[in-house]
Structure 1
Amino acid sequence: MLYRDFGKTGLKTSLLGFGGFHLLEIPTSEAEYLLDTYLDAGGNYVETAASYGDGESELKVGRVMAAHRKQCILATKTGSRDSSGCMASLEQSLKNLKTDYIDLLIMHAVGTKEDLDKILSPNGALEAALKAKQQGKIGHIGISMHGQPDVLISALQQYPFDAVMTTINYYDRFNFPEIENELLPLASQKETAVILMKPIADGLLWRSAPAAFRYAISRPVSVVVTGINTREMLEEDLNYVRHFQPMSLEEEEALFKNAPELGNYVCRQCDKCMPCEAGIPIPEIFKYEGYYDRQMRDGTVRDAAEFALRDRLRFWFGNTDMAMAKYESLTIKADQCTQCGKCSSKCPYGIDIPRKLEIADYKLAGKKIY
């Protein structure tokens, strides 16, 4: 097993982390087997949340803690924003996990500035976490969110969190480019541990799992956390780490060009289509489309299972209002395209840019029909 420094905490985490959400899908006996096998293989980072099945995931993790607690870096999450709620959530989590301390408490899914302000305010959740830290009930404090990372960037600028948890995969790299371009450098500067979640984009990249995991493990992160609910999946994930070779820049570019999930629709934010003679900020509009629905509704007819998966995932992160507000603030919008087609001839990924602008405008302007 490979290990990396967990920021400035002094901990070292196994590169593969075990996420607890999908333990909800399997019986306790199988959950125990998977966790025991992962820990016996050298894995040492187990993460769950109070909200996963209203404590069910924590209870299943707690079943293996008696035998493995000292070798395990144990993390859970609280969705409470105030001090009393956070402390109550923590006490219940400790009971569920059958331990008197956790190594990391994560402020869960902090998606708005209002949530962050509540957490950081007097009588906020951070106050309770700091008190619990003084009492020896938690070792470190982290924060997480999904999708567009403005709140996480603001959080690290306001408080020295020990860890930040964020979505990183080769698909969402182009929907939320600020994660790799801004958040990761800021975390590195502040020596904050980065917990990578969703390496296969909530399941979208399941056909390309080897490439997706290799890309994820090649990022400058402390641990790659993935949900595991079968023995075959656990063995595959362990092998990705055992046989890991860093991805070169040339290999990354080949992946970006050829990945079937990106195809000839998802904008790679290379800016080679610019400048636009009509003054349309093409990459900016496509970035907002990424915020809106991860560029998943693309006008392509797919089989029922693929359509259902993408339709389930497209609004997964709830950034639609923000995306539409940003689009509304633009002086020149997509509907001012002259259909000259010069941008498409410059796109190295074969995107029909005028068509994509029409689709983006339909989404972001809230139009009733495309």
Structure 2
Amino acid sequence: MQYRRFGKTNLQFSVFSLGTMRYLANAENAHRTIEKALSLGINHVETARGYGKSEEYLGAAIKRGLSVPRNQLYITTKIPPCANADTMRQCIDESLNRLNLDYLDCLAIHGLNTREHLEWVQSKNGCMQAVKEAVNDSRVKHIGFSTHGGLDIILAAINTDLFEFINLHYYYFLQRNTSAIQAVIEKDMGVFIISPADKGGRLYTPPGTLKELCQPFTPLELNYRFLLSDNRITTLSLGAATPEELIAPLEVADDVGELTAAEISVFEKLENQQNQVLGTDKCSQCYACLPCPENINIPEVLRLRNLAVAYDMNDYGKYRYGMFENAGHWFPGMKGNRCIECGECLPKCPGSLDIPALLADTHERLNGKAGRRLWG
């Protein structure tokens, strides 16, 4: 296991962190999964008050006793933004009690996704007042935020200078937030990548086309290497449901150097495949088409189409597309069938895409069962 400095917190985090959304079968399974992670060199565990019984199970494991001393284990929990300090005070107290902790190494504002959330954290009497009190009395050591918001929200949150780290969606198949990583580094903030296996493409169950294109590597291995080779990134979330699920991903935990020629060759093959298969229908993800009068998240809809058409990533596309209209600010925007063909997007597109036709095609390909966040 390799370790990296987590920005200005100066904590040394393992390059993989244990995410605890999925170890929720029972407290015993949670304890076994945590202990296995620790034995493999993971020293950072992330939970959230919104993850069902995750805090409770982690707290039970801490009370029972872990193989690593408290001062060698870093624990983060996440609490949603709120409009007033009293609510945040109560949430911090509840989380500490559930976790059986006197202090948190890191507290993240969970889902800083909207302009309203930004207003709350910047308000004089908002939730950050309670967070700062907790820092002053040593119940919280470091403050950050997680986000599913647009790039404009992310950059605005970074520029508040309220935070020491960020939990961010950024993967090989989703590079929209590249400039956010650079902005974070300029502020000396730590970078924690959220869910690279699942949100990064459901790469633990890749389609045959993608598996073949990635040979001799696996798609998941390549995504991990894409991220770990970037020394601006501190740590990647590994959301294991059982101890056994930790083994395969951590086989690359020591492989954090520059991309090899063989890896670069595969990434070039993936890019060529997308260009050839999509041709003039490829969405370049420039976001020039927004805003849409019908509130369709056109770039994200067409990103899912890109992946489905180029790599047969239909299961992933259906999983994410089903979140539209069902997950609120966590995954905003309407589905492609809401397009009324008003034509406002057409002159904005530098690629001259027939956006209404592509939205309709995406809906036909990917519309299925409605989705929701696990703890939405």
Partner of 1:149: 151
Aligned residues of 1:108 and 1:143 also touching (Cα < 8 A): yes
Q: 2: distance between equivalents of 1:304 and 1:363?
A: 10
Q: 2: distance between equivalents of 1:32 and 1:217?
A: 27
1:96 counterpart = 2:98: yes
Deviation at 1:308, TM superposition (A): 4.7
Partner of 1:17: 17
CA RMSD between the two structures: 3.7
Deviations 1:31-60 (A, max 9, x none): 11110111122211100001111xx00011
The alpha-carbon distance between structure 1 residues 90 and 294, as it changes in their structure 2 partners (threshold 3 A), is farther
Matched residue type, 2:242: T
Partner of 1:290: 299
1:45 counterpart = 2:47: no
Q: 1: distance between equivalents of 2:42 and 2:308?
A: 42
1:134-145 matches, within 5 Å, as: 134-145=136-147
Partner of 1:246: 258
Q: Which of 186, 189, 208 lines up with 1:189 in the alignment?
A: 186
Partner of 1:61: 58
The alpha-carbon distance between structure 1 residues 8 and 42, as it changes in their structure 2 partners (threshold 3 A), is same
**Which SS does the other structure have where 2:247 is aligned?**
helix
Deviation at 1:27, TM superposition (A): 2.2
The alpha-carbon distance between structure 1 residues 85 and 169, as it changes in their structure 2 partners (threshold 3 A), is same
Aligned residues of 1:143 and 1:163 also touching (Cα < 8 A): yes
Q: 1: distance between equivalents of 2:313 and 2:227?
A: 28
Partner of 1:4: 4
For these two proteins, the number of residue pairs brought into alignment is: 327
1:83-232 matches, within 5 Å, as: 83-146=85-148, 148-173=150-175, 177=176, 179-180=177-178, 182-202=179-199, 204-206=202-204, 207=206, 208-219=219-230, 220-232=232-244
Matched residue type, 1:23: Y
Q: Unaligned stretches of 5+ in structure 2?
A: 207-218, 292-296, 364-376
Aligned residues of 2:165 and 2:192 also touching (Cα < 8 A): yes
The alpha-carbon distance between structure 1 residues 129 and 304, as it changes in their structure 2 partners (threshold 3 A), is closer
Q: 1: distance between equivalents of 2:253 and 2:307?
A: 34
Deviations 1:286-310 (A, max 9, x none): 9963334642488869799667535
Q: TM-score, normalised by structure 2?
A: 0.75
Partner of 1:367: none
1:319 counterpart = 2:319: no
Aligned residues of 2:197 and 2:203 also touching (Cα < 8 A): yes
Q: Which of 284, 289, 309 lines up with 2:319 in the alignment?
A: 309
1:332 counterpart = 2:341: no
Matched residue type, 2:76: A
Q: Which of 233, 245, 248 lines up with 2:245 in the alignment?
A: 233
**Which SS does the other structure have where 1:332 is aligned?**
helix
Q: 2: distance between equivalents of 1:109 and 1:190?
A: 20
**Which SS does the other structure have where 1:319 is aligned?**
coil
**Which SS does the other structure have where 1:117 is aligned?**
helix
Deviations 1:64-96 (A, max 9, x none): 224342221100010141211111111111011
Deviation at 1:62, TM superposition (A): 1.3
